[in-house]
Amino acid sequence: MRRWCPQCQQATDNAPLPEMASEEERLRPLRCGTSLAYCRRLYCLACGHVWTGLELPEQVVESLLARDGELERLRRELAMARLLLSKNQKTLDKPAGDAGPKLRVHHAA
């Protein structure tokens, strides 16, 4: 069977390895309460790498990829917030009388 070998980083011919587990045992949840993934151990005929492939419904993978994009967006926002916080901290650390902008802190009652 043609699969993407994680070692070769390209599509190669792979052979399924004989499994000791039953078909039922090879169905595993990715996380508690999520769709079950079917695990299959494969052997790459090009490099000999043994790896485990997971079969999932396409919409589950697409949903995971969408979350991945959202996570990347949040990481960028967090990096920007840290940068702004660091700039504000430098402003606050300047000695009194400096003409730099001041950060005003409002405390909620």
Chain positions contacting Zn ion, by CB under 5 A: 5, 7-8, 12, 44, 46-47, 49
Residue 92: strand, helix, or coil: helix
Shortest Cβ distance from residue 12 to Zn ion (Å)?
5
User: Whole-number minimum distance, CB 17 to Zn ion, in Å?
Assistant: 14
Q: Which is nearer to Zn ion, 12 or 37 (CB)?
A: 12
Counting every residue written for the chain, the total comes to 109
Instruction: Please say whether the beta carbons of 33 and 60 come within 8 A.
Output: no
Q: Is the CB of 45 or the CB of 66 nearer to Zn ion?
A: 45
Q: Which is nearer to Zn ion, 18 or 48 (CB)?
A: 48
User: How many whole angstroms separate alpha carbon 40 and alpha carbon 101?
Assistant: 60
